[in-house]
Amino acid sequence: MSTRSIGENGPAALLFHTLFTAFIVAPLIVTILVSFSDKGYISMPFEGASLRWYRAILDAPDIIGAFWLSVWLGLGSATLAIAVAIPAAIAIARYRFSGRDALMALLLSPLMVPHVVLGVAFLRFFSMLSWTGSSIALLLVHALIVVPYALRLTLGALIGLERDAELAARSLGASRWTSFRRILLALIMPGVVGGWSLAFIQSFDEVTMTIFVATPGTTTLPVALYHRVSMLTDPVTTSVSTIMIVGTMGLMFVLDRIVGLDNVLIGKK
């Protein structure tokens, strides 16, 4: 239903909207502009543009290493998260049992617990088990914190789904596994792909928890960027950021095609 009929936007509303949008995009646009400067410090590119800060990335092996670690971490943790989220989502969507609400609350709880607290907890945990510096350990905790995103979108696809096709497949002789793989998984695929992608992005962007457990050998891209930004004067941060902005926009475009961006961002049922 449309709420548009409540009224039309007047000039004051449009002015507000313009300023609001400018506020939202300003930091991103400034970052992109500065990345094309030819100066050795943070400055606008209007008095001399160059690609030197993009070439500078190639001379920063720490950034390149961190990028690949973040990519693998994102791929691995999103895959692990969706693998545990799909069966849990089926349990929550299809069964009524005591403890169902508690299960749901537990699986969504990484959204509520401050990432600083999680970082502290994992630092303590890793040091007790001598897991410090292990990229597998980092992958496991990344998977944990992105489970809520994988779960929410998978659940959204499952809720309200009819079971007729599955039952028909079963009665025609398909095994449980075949009917899951060929019927149910196919039906909820947009939700699964959306959940996986959102989980990947959240893992790729995570900084607050990771900064506590990252060691020189397990520094992710946002953590590396954080340490460079805290020293401020290095324009290579802007070219790396620009690549991250463009990359995210590309992913957003793909996601919009597959599941619809409003589905991912707003979680429309």
Partner 1 sequence: MAEKVTRGNGSQWLLSLPALAMFLGLLIVPLALTAILSFNVFDAVRGSQSNFTFGNYIDVLSDGYYYELFLRTAGMSLGVTVICVVLGLPETLFLSRMRSVWQGTFFVVILGPLLISVVVRTLGWSILLGRDGVINNVLISLKLAQRPVQLMFTMTGVVIVLTHVMLPFMIIAIWSTLQKVDAQVAHAARSLGAGPWTTFRRVILPQLLPGILSGSIIVFTLSASAFATPALIGGRRVKLVTTAIYDEFLSSLNWPLGAAIAVLLLLGIAFVVVGSNRLIERRFKQVFA
CB of residue 8 to partner 1, shortest distance in Å: 6
Nearer to partner 1 by Cβ, of 40 and 87: the residue is 87
Residue 196 to residues 81, 147, 181, 188: CA-CA distances in angstroms? 8, 9, 17, 12
Q: What angle do CA 252, 256, 260 make, to 5 degrees?
A: 135
Report the distance separating Cα 31 and Cα 11, nearest Å. Answer: 30
CB of residue 158 to partner 1, shortest distance in Å: 10
Which amino acid is it at 176? R
Nearer to partner 1 by Cβ, of 51 and 91: the residue is 91
Nearer to partner 1 by Cβ, of 75 and 93: the residue is 93
CB of residue 195 to partner 1, shortest distance in Å: 13
CB of residue 130 to partner 1, shortest distance in Å: 14
Residues 6+ apart with CB under 8 A from 144: 81, 110
What are the tokens at 26? 């300003």
Nearer to partner 1 by Cβ, of 52 and 228: the residue is 228
Residue 83 to residues 100, 133, 198, 200, 269: CA-CA distances in angstroms? 19, 25, 14, 13, 22
